[in-house]
Chain A
Amino acid sequence: MTGTRLTKGGRIDRSATLQFQLEGRRFTGYAGDTLASALLANGIRVFGRSFKYHRPRGILASGIQEPNALMTVGTGSRRIPNLPATSVELYDGLVCERQNGWPSVDFDIGSVFGLFARFLSAGFYYKTFIGPTRGSWMFYERWIRRAAGLGRATHEPDSARYDHRHHHTDVLVIGSGPAGLAAALAAGRAGSRVLLVEQDSMAGGSLLDSPIGTDDDQLRSALLAQLVALPTVQILTHTSVFGLYDGLAAGMVERRPVIQGVSAPSEVLHIVRANQIIHATGALEQPLLFGNNDRPGVMLAGAVRAHLHRYALRLGDEVVVVTNHDSAWSAAFDLADAGARVTVVDERPAPNADLLQGAKDRAIAVRVHTVATRVFGSNGVKALEVRDAESGAVARIACDLVAMSGGWIPTVQLTTHGGVRTVFNPTLGVHVAGPMAAGQSIAGAASGDPTDPLKQGHAVGVRAAQALGFSADAGLAPESAWSSVPLMTTRTSASLPAQSKVFIDFQSDVTLSDMHVSLEDGFESPEHLKRYTALGMATDQGKSSHYNGLTTLSALRGQAMGALGTTTHRPPYTPVTVGVLAGRSVGLHFRATRRTPMHEWHMANGVTMIEAGPWFRPWYYRWAGADVGSAYIEEMRVVRSRVGLSDVSSLGKIELTGPDVGIFLDRVYVNGFSSLAVGKARYGVMLNDDGTVLDDGTTARLGEHRYFLTTTTAQAGEVMSWLEFLLQTVWPDLRVQAVSVTDRWAAMSLAGPYARDVLARALPEIDVSNAALPHMGVMERQIGEMPVRIGRLSFSGELAYEVYVPADYGVGMWEHLLAVGADVGIRPYGLEALASLRIEKGHVAGIELDHRNTLRDLGLGKMGSRAKSYIGRALSERSELVDTQRWSLVGLELVEPAGKLRGGAILFAKDEPIQGHGRGYITSVTWSTVHERLIALALYRGGLNHVGEEIVCAYPLRGEQVRARIVSPMFIDPAGERLHA
């Protein structure tokens, strides 16, 4: 195959020269070229080495079907591997390289694998890496992994931009060949909104493979002109539908053409919700099976013809067209017309007389009833060996290009995604889509019906629009002399070639002999064969292999195609980059984040933030230390000895109003709330239905019919949904309104011995004396325009107040408190100190509230009311949950000064062997500024019955074992004197 760029014709712009590079060599191509056509025009024939055997490979197909010519395109952070060269549009400045060859694709040491092919056959991995030979895997793994494979991606962060777009359309038409164009036109004229999607760079489908000026081409231009004139029709080219999903939703990726110097999204994910979907996805040409059918220079006949007419490339001087049906003859005729010497080899004894006459007119040599047996040549084709099916006589035809065609199969991957199973049609000899699901229809070659695709497309377009109530005049179906319908043929499988190196899956390197091995090993069903040999599992998803695999299996097993079943097609139909799925949801935008009203203040004042669910919360402040380990201890000291201020705005806040709130909360919480006095708050715990603890928090009664409930930061959304569920579905009779007001209020906790002093001076209008605002007291006041809520609530165990102001006043109040408290040494403190102070006080938090613990496990058993029923009560009394040997909350004190207590450490009794799950584990650890040692909260079997015992905390990950003593979890102020001060 020498390849000549013709001086005229094709859909390329010879006036627009594009420069590009292959492995450092500079080439030129034209606008309109693919990377494949440009390289072919420059004489490149070997496009890569195969996956397993490192055989040289060229171009087999055109467009997205190509299995061989996977290339790495781009450099640095824009380096993208495994792109089929046939679907990469050439752009100026493109840099690319071929894959899987070392030191180069042209001279590849890995090709010695070919010599060891019999060791790499089907099931190689399974056989080698299990059983006695397993040791050799350990030895060879790195070597094999390096040798087998595809291109390598960049390790740099992806610098490309990706976007997501959402569409709602009446009719989605997939594919812009004749059937798709006619369908879109009919549906659009009938009045429906139409989205027509084409994966190629131009609309037209198979019409593009005919020369400009022919009937096909004129038909394409005419239909497109009419479509463009319709305001209801949108056409998306460069866009591949990769999956069809429930609810007539389609996922599609648009690959934006690269224009140097222009910053634009490189890919766009389109998510389309359609009311009707029309599949006009055409058909895929299939290879024939003969020895060395994978050599560079053996191509699909349709691809040869497409390259001739679209890219003005005559890819051979001496061409053999080998086929078993009519469609490949047009490639033979066109090649002969373009000046090539052509031989046609047809498996059929008596092809159509018109074809024979056409061949005669063009001086094409014809061999009928003849099959190809093998190719000679390694980096290119030297000759094709053929065998007369009748006489058995073997002949060798010198050639530089073999154009083969084993028939076309309908492209039904997407209909399968949509839940439509394929069925074997014995008349056509292929699988076609079964009865279409509601809202979907199929037309043209994709349907398997070889009659006029224009009529078919028109009919389904009209029907789709009518189904949605659009009944404007759709006009008549377009007419044309166009007649190049792809022909479906029953693939003859009676005479499988005896040759070795008959490739069925080019990309996975699966040969006919691999299929023999698979069957010998007992993997006989299509699903088993696929997994044992990897047939059809490569990045091309078997577009040019899975069907040959199936027909071969049918022949080998002597079982009819219809009885064999097929494998299931799943998304994606074409490869999708992770980048486009992520879109702009990367980095900080990975997910929604929430910031408290004081966020900017923290940032400006030396905070280190920590993510707590969606929230950014202050972790520690630099005033206290350079790292969290030293800072949180300083912050704790300030709270215990003076006063600290902490941002607690992320707590979930729910306002409950209505006459029945008290009754509602009595049912939701284990303890009572209808008895709560106005102006008081109470700590409450709620259970899941299964009796485990769901969440805790304080709830204040602000008025007769008004309560203010707080949740933990982590469970805020969960609790809100739960309350809404109960109110809407279980007790719709209760007169209660629940509104989330988390974002409405800024909340801060003022804690420490000087807390009241600071608060009283900061808000002189309000009496916050012990008498006016005792422990668990709550008040609502108005200072000028600003409402303020103050609750005397403590998480730290110190004298503490929670101050709530509307979000907009948050920073003002925060700065005011800090300013007023400056003379007594007030400091902001973060989440680490907050969480450590509560450990000293023995308060449980998120880490202990893990939906596995009961009230009793957490030392809260006495809270459960005996007088009323509440959610979770029945199941909390299951025998398993009241077992006194359950793991329950204890405190731990380290007894060896040099050791470390670690969260997650497994606990064992003193002289017990260190194995298994132990008797519990450490949940939370902190340095105690009060006791000047490490303390922890833990869950331990039998809990506080073991107070005073020495136990072992094992941390197997680091091989550590330290001794600790079980103590009360209330490390400070057991009598609550600080709280009530």
Chain B
Amino acid sequence: MLRIPCPHCGVRDYTEFRYAGDASKSRPSLEITDVKTWHDHVFLFDNPKGMHQEYWQHVQGCRQWLVLERDTSTNTVSRAWFARQGKSS
């Protein structure tokens, strides 16, 4: 049972959250119409072993989108912050 330290609600079970993928990628601006840029953003993902930043939303709590740092090899969660604060707050 992954436990996620929500900066608003406190430590909660992961079942209260939804996982939403890699948070380390930069989303292209809407003004960019280049298909390849968008293709790479939407379809190409790394599958890193070790520390990883990922998006989780506290859907059954404060509804805030979080960036979570998780070690993919041990499932150790180190910290989480509001996604609106940017990449590494």
Complex alpha-carbon distance, A246 and B63, angstroms: 23
Complex alpha-carbon distance, A207 and B39, angstroms: 65
- Most chain A beta-carbon contacts within 10 A, residue among B3, B34, B38: B38
* Stretch from A23-31, A721-729, A844-852, A919-927 at the B interface: A721-729
Name A729's contact: one of B43, B55, B59 (CB within 8 Å): B55
- Write out the residue numbers on chain A whose beta carbons fall within 8 Å of the beta carbon of B39: 875, 878
- Write out the residue numbers on chain B whose beta carbons fall within 8 Å of the beta carbon of A367: none
Question: Which B residues, 34 to 89, have Cβ-Cβ distances below 8 Å to chain A?
Answer: 34-35, 37-39, 41-43, 55, 57, 59, 63-65, 74-77, 82-84
Name A874's contact: one of B3, B34, B63, B83 (CB within 8 Å): B34
- Write out the residue numbers on chain A whose beta carbons fall within 8 Å of the beta carbon of B34: 874
* Stretch from A56-64, A99-107, A599-607, A865-873 at the B interface: A865-873
* Inter-chain contact B74/A874, CB cutoff 8 Å: no
A130 at the interface (CB under 8 A from B): no
* Inter-chain contact B35/A877, CB cutoff 8 Å: yes
B9 at the interface (CB under 8 A from A): no
A916 at the interface (CB under 8 A from B): no
Beyond A249-B3, A419-B74, A729-B55, whether A721 also contacts B18 by CB under 8 A is yes
* Inter-chain contact B57/A871, CB cutoff 8 Å: no
A581 at the interface (CB under 8 A from B): no
- Write out the residue numbers on chain B whose beta carbons fall within 8 Å of the beta carbon of A246: 1-3, 75
How many Å from the CB of B34 to the closest CB on chain A? Answer: 7
Complex alpha-carbon distance, A246 and B1, angstroms: 5
Name B20's contact: one of A689, A690, A725, A874 (CB within 8 Å): A725
Complex alpha-carbon distance, A247 and B39, angstroms: 36
* Inter-chain contact A728/B30, CB cutoff 8 Å: no
Q: How does the 8 Å CB contact mask read for A426-448 relative to B, with 1 for contact and 0 for none?
A: 00000000000110000000000
- Write out the residue numbers on chain A whose beta carbons fall within 8 Å of the beta carbon of B37: 874
A271 at the interface (CB under 8 A from B): yes
- Write out the residue numbers on chain B whose beta carbons fall within 8 Å of the beta carbon of A724: 57, 63, 65
With both beta carbons as reference points, the residue of chain B lying nearest to A688 in the complex is identified as B42
* Inter-chain contact B57/A721, CB cutoff 8 Å: yes
* Inter-chain contact A729/B65, CB cutoff 8 Å: yes
Q: How does the 8 Å CB contact mask read for A722-756 relative to B, with 1 for contact and 0 for none?
A: 00110011101000000000000000000000000
A124 at the interface (CB under 8 A from B): no
Question: Which B residues, 1 to 51, have Cβ-Cβ distances below 8 Å to chain A?
Answer: 1-3, 13, 18, 20, 27-28, 30-35, 37-39, 41-43
- Write out the residue numbers on chain B whose beta carbons fall within 8 Å of the beta carbon of A732: 84
Complex alpha-carbon distance, A273 and B64, angstroms: 23
- Write out the residue numbers on chain B whose beta carbons fall within 8 Å of the beta carbon of A271: 1
Report the interface size for chain A: residues with CB under 8 A from the other chain.
Answer: 28
- Write out the residue numbers on chain B whose beta carbons fall within 8 Å of the beta carbon of A438: 76
A667 at the interface (CB under 8 A from B): yes
How many Å from the CB of A716 to the closest CB on chain B? Answer: 12
Complex alpha-carbon distance, A877 and B35, angstroms: 8
Beyond A247-B1, A273-B3, A721-B18, whether A875 also contacts B82 by CB under 8 A is no
- Most chain B beta-carbon contacts within 10 A, residue among A247, A419, A437, A871: A247
Complex alpha-carbon distance, A271 and B13, angstroms: 11
How many Å from the CB of A648 to the closest CB on chain B? Answer: 24
How many Å from the CB of B70 to the closest CB on chain A? Answer: 10
- Write out the residue numbers on chain B whose beta carbons fall within 8 Å of the beta carbon of A247: 1-3, 75, 77
* Inter-chain contact A728/B33, CB cutoff 8 Å: no
- Write out the residue numbers on chain A whose beta carbons fall within 8 Å of the beta carbon of B41: 689
- Write out the residue numbers on chain A whose beta carbons fall within 8 Å of the beta carbon of B13: 273
- Write out the residue numbers on chain A whose beta carbons fall within 8 Å of the beta carbon of B32: 874
Beyond A689-B42, A724-B65, A874-B33, whether A730 also contacts B59 by CB under 8 A is no
How many Å from the CB of B61 to the closest CB on chain A? Answer: 12
Name B38's contact: one of A725, A870, A874 (CB within 8 Å): A874
* Inter-chain contact B35/A725, CB cutoff 8 Å: no
* Inter-chain contact B33/A878, CB cutoff 8 Å: no
With both beta carbons as reference points, the residue of chain A lying nearest to B76 in the complex is identified as A438
Complex alpha-carbon distance, A877 and B28, angstroms: 16
How many Å from the CB of A594 to the closest CB on chain B? Answer: 15
Complex alpha-carbon distance, A870 and B1, angstroms: 38
Complex alpha-carbon distance, A690 and B74, angstroms: 32
A137 at the interface (CB under 8 A from B): no
With both beta carbons as reference points, the residue of chain A lying nearest to B73 in the complex is identified as A419
- Write out the residue numbers on chain A whose beta carbons fall within 8 Å of the beta carbon of B74: 419, 437
* Inter-chain contact B31/A869, CB cutoff 8 Å: yes
Complex alpha-carbon distance, A667 and B29, angstroms: 11
Complex alpha-carbon distance, A728 and B33, angstroms: 23
A623 at the interface (CB under 8 A from B): no
Question: Which A residues, 681 to 734, have Cβ-Cβ distances below 8 Å to chain B?
Answer: 689-690, 717, 721, 724-725, 728-730, 732
* Across the A-B interface, the 3 shortest Cβ-Cβ residue pairs: A249-B1, A247-B3, A874-B38
Residue pairs across A and B with Cβ atoms less than 8 A apart, 30 shown, are: A245-B1, A246-B75, A247-B2, A247-B3, A249-B3, A273-B13, A419-B74, A437-B74, A689-B38, A690-B43, A717-B59, A721-B57, A724-B57, A724-B63, A725-B20, A725-B57, A728-B65, A728-B84, A732-B84, A869-B30, A869-B33, A870-B30, A873-B30, A873-B33, A874-B32, A874-B33, A874-B38, A875-B35, A875-B38, A877-B35
Binding site for A on B (CB under 8 A): 1-3, 13, 18, 20, 27-28, 30-35, 37-39, 41-43, 55, 57, 59, 63-65, 74-77, 82-84
